Structure formats: C-alpha cells, structure tokens
Amino acid sequence: MTGQGARWKAVLIGLLASAGLWDVAGLATAAAAEPPTYADLKSLFQQRCVVCHSGSSAAAGLALDTLAGLNKGGTRGAVVVAGQPASSELVKRLKGISLPRMPLTGPPWVDEADIGRIERWIAAGLPAGAPLSPAAVAAAASMPAARPAPGQPATWAHVAPILATRCAKCHSPQGLMGPAPEGYVLNSYEATVSANDRVRVVPGRPEASELARRVKGHARPRMPFDGPPWLSADEIRLIDDWIRQGARDATGKPAPIRGGARLRLRGVMSADGTLDGLVLPPGGRRDKQPGPGDEVELRAWLMPDGSLDVDRLRRR
C-alpha cells in the first residue's frame, strides 16, 4: 500500500469509528484476548527456562526449547494438559504450588502476567503458532550461559543452571537413582547450602567445601556421577567463585556459616601436608599414619568463623 493509500485508510477508519461503525476498542480487546501460541511464548521460555531445560541433558528430561519436547514431558510425566492449566504441572511449578518452585534460579520468579499468558495458551489447547525462522532458532540456541557482570559476585542464579542440568537429575528427592545419594538434594538453594546431616558448602572456602571438591575430582567418586564429560573448567571456576564470594542466593545475600555443623572431606595427602591444597589445622586423631599420596578422610566440625576443628584424619 502506498503512503497516500495508508493515509486514506486511516482517515476512513477514523470516520467509521466516529460514526459508531468501527469498534476500535472492541478490536483491541479481541486482539488482547486472542490466546498466545507457543511461538509467542518461546522467548519467555528461552529467557527463564531453557538454560536448564534444553537438549539431551535437560533437567528431569524435560526440554522446553521445542513444542514437541514440552508436549512429551519429562521423566515424571506430562507437564501440560491441553485445556487444563490448573492441572498442568508447569503452571503449578511456576506458581510455587508444586516444589521446588521454578525457575530454579528464582527469585525473581516469572511474573503473574506471563504466567497468565501460559495459562491462556494451555486453556486454548497448546496452539503452536508460526515457527521461528532458522536464524532465530540458531540465535536462541547459541545464547551464552549467564555469568556475573564484571565486578559483580556470582550468585545462585549463575550456578543453579549447572547443578540443575548436571547434578539434580540424581540429587533430587526421587532422582534417577531413587532418593538423593547420601540425602544431598541440589534442586534448590536452601537444600544446597543446608547442613542437615553435614555441610557441603562452606561460604568463603571452596577448598573446604565437599561440593567443590567433588566436581574437581579431589574426592571419589568424582561428580557428576555420569561423567565424563565432567564439568568444564569454566563451570568449576564459577562454582568456586560462588562459594568463595559467600555462596550467595539469587538476590545476592551471602549464606550463613553453619557453625557447629559436621564436615566430611576426602582427598589425597600432598607432600606439603595439605589435603589437595586444604591446610589442615592441628589437633584431632591421626589414624593409620596417613602420609603423602595416601587417600584420606577428614572429619571435622565447622566453627562459626569458617575454620575447622579436626575430629579425625584417617587413611582410607
């Protein structure tokens, strides 16, 4: 349409509207009421979900980067029920009705307006909409994982996608191996930094944190259990930084030091008397005369200042 034709069309619509023959407001309302499609929601899933839920290593086997993957569901079954948003696990997770609430990197959570869009999409029967162009799909797939901005500390929002895709498949209440190994759950911030039976994350001290030592291979079995491939050097460095900078939650608040909690670390004694770089304080029992090159187990108590009170060091 030429510029002149477009102007005449606008004038005609204005005249018809003023005469009550063209319901502009009604058309706008109808457009707003039109249910969204998966194509409309794909950017939302890309921004908030697919960092964990995509590809062959998707958390819980649930891939949200394609409509086919979403319809297929995950290892625990369907997450959307066409026409029934209230019965759809996706909606329950986004609202926190089912736990852990999603996305795992929250807060912030998905806002109510966007959850409403997803509910209307499900209620409408999960329409697909026009597919994205190959260029748009490729751009979305190549988006880098979130990393802290220069000068900013790492937070749970940065490490959660790594734990969700590589660790939580087993370390969940009912993971691939049944109950979480040794009871350690990695599907929420609170569980990751907890000290229920013993502490695995010592804020400020990655060298004393079992989580960091496991992914580096200082303790056996090395994690993740399905490796290799192991975590990349960049991912390990990010987890180290997160612990060193206080094991902060998604809002940036550092985790408390769980003074009085038990600690159990395994590794190899170095010639300098350290445990893979962890300086061992004096005190405690030394069983079986551990020496350089020996695999050992350290049992200690975590003090309020983050130091260790050694209970026992023994050769394994």
Residue 3 falls within a domain, yes or no?
A: no
Shared-domain flag, residues 185 and 228: yes
Domain-embedded: residue 194:
yes
| Residue 29 counted as domain residue | no
Domain endpoint, select from 84, 117, 144? 144
Q: Cα separation of 235 and 7, whole Å? A: 56
Are 71 and 122 contacting, i.e. CB atoms less than 8 angstroms apart?
no
Confidence of residue 164 (pLDDT cuts 50, 70, 90): confident
Q: Structural domain tally of the chain?
A: 2
Indicate whether 18 belongs to any domain.
Answer: no
- Residues 294 and 216 occupy one common structural domain: yes
pTM: 0.67
One domain, residues 160 and 304: yes
Query: Same domain for 95 and 171?
Result: no
My answer on whether 107 and 194 are in the same domain is no
Mean pLDDT of the chain: 84
Domain assignment of residue 268, yes or no: yes
pLDDT greater than 90 at residue 241 = yes
Domain with 299, as residue range(s), is 156-315
Is the model's pLDDT at 12 over the cut of 60? no
Q: Clarify whether residues 163 and 260 are in a common domain.
A: yes
Domain shared by 103 and 245, yes or no? no
pLDDT at 81: 94
In a domain, 183, yes or no: yes
125 and 162 co-located in one domain: no
Are 170 and 279 in a shared domain? yes
Q: In what order do the strands lie in the sheet with 285-287?
A: 262-268, 295-302, 308-315, 285-287
Look at residue 143 and tell me whether its pLDDT is greater than 90: no
Where does a domain end: 119, 144, 169?
144
Is there a domain that residue 22 lies in? no
Q: Examine the fold and report which residue of 144, 171, 191 is the final residue of a domain before the chain moves on.
A: 144
**299 and 178 part of one domain:** yes
Query: 58: exposed, middle or buried (C-beta count within 10 Å: 0-12, 13-18, 19+)?
Result: buried
Residue 2 has pLDDT above 70, yes or no: no
User: Which residues make Cβ contacts (< 8 Å) with residue 81, sequence separation at least 6?
Assistant: 87, 88, 122
5 in a structural domain: no
Q: Is residue 212 very low, low, confident or very high in pLDDT (cuts 50, 70, 90)?
A: very high
pLDDT bucket at 300, cuts 50 / 70 / 90? very high
**203 and 296 share one domain:** yes
Q: Do 163 and 58 fall into the same domain? A: no
